[in-house]
Every structure is written in C-alpha cells, then in structure tokens.
Copies of this chain bind each other. A is one copy, B any other.
C-alpha cells in the first residue's frame, strides 16, 4: 500500500453513490507535503519522457499540478471551464460532462499556450468516467502537441474512464485505484499495482 492509499484509508470518507470524499487533504483543504510526494512519484513513473509542460483543469487539479510541476521543472497550464471576458483570441475548446455537477462545460485553453512542440503531462485529482480527461486529450491533439502521459491521484477503477484511456495506449499512472467501496462499512478496496 502506498502513501496515497494509506492517506485515503485514514482520512477519506465513503458516501452513498460511490462518492469518495477526500476534501480534508486533496480537493478543498490541500496537504502540500502530500502533493510533493505525488509529484516525486510521478517523476519516477514518467522518467525519461521529454515532458515540457503540465496541463490540468480547474479547480481541484491546479494545486496538485503546480506542486508536482516542481519535480519536472516545467510550467503548468490549466484548462478553464467557462469563457472569461479576460480571455480573447483563439481558443482550443472541448465539451466536458461533469459527473460531479451533472452538467456540460466548455473547457478552453488559449492557443498561445499549446503548440506542436509541446510534450504534455496531464495531471488531475480524479478519474472516473474520463470525460474531463478526454476533453484535455482532445485539446492537446487539436494543438498537434504530444500526450506524454497522464498522472491521476485517485482513479475509480470500477468506472470506465481508466480502461478506455489505457486501451488507447496512453501511459496512465493513477496513484490509487479504487476497485470498490462500501458506504455502510467505510471499506475501500484498492487495485494491486
């Protein structure tokens, strides 16, 4: 069992509807030392990849991506979920359905910040059905940039997102893969990696 799995068992809370609350350390209150451990682990798993930029999506991916980026010495770009009047000019756009919020967002990245020369590591906090991730990959393809890999904190292994992405041949490194969870007992079962 790794450091993130241990932390989930210690501080995560299983709720009805396959909700895993990790808001005390991952996506509302954020444990920056933990994020540094995660960055170090991804650096090891993506060793040798010519990563020059990290792409994430607002809001809860940003903190993890920024702290992890220090282990790669690269800038971070975050995809935005709605058009801001301060953003103008050409944008890469993808439609992303949110499992959490039950709606569809446009996800946008300025064309200035993705180019064919870019070798991208995608970082996000959760992977479930994979919609957000597919949107980010689609944007990277639109830019003719390269997806070097995908680093996820917690993957819900019982949902389809991870398998689809691995089937497509991407190197997907989820630091904790939840195989099942039970709200009545609070039990969380992780996939052996």
Contacts and interface: CB of A to CB of B under 8 A. Distances in A.
Interface of A: 19, 21, 23-25, 28-32, 35-36, 58-59, 62-63, 65-67, 69-70, 74-78, 80, 84-87, 100-102, 109-110, 112-113
Contacts of A35: 66
Contacts of A23: 86-87, 110, 112
Contacts of A101: 84-85
Contacts of A75: 25, 29-32
Nearest to A63: B66
7 contacts: A24-B112, A25-B75, A28-B77, A28-B110, A30-B66, A32-B66, A63-B78
Contacts of A110: 23, 28-29
Contact of A32 (B25, B31, B58, B70): B70
Contacts of A31: 75
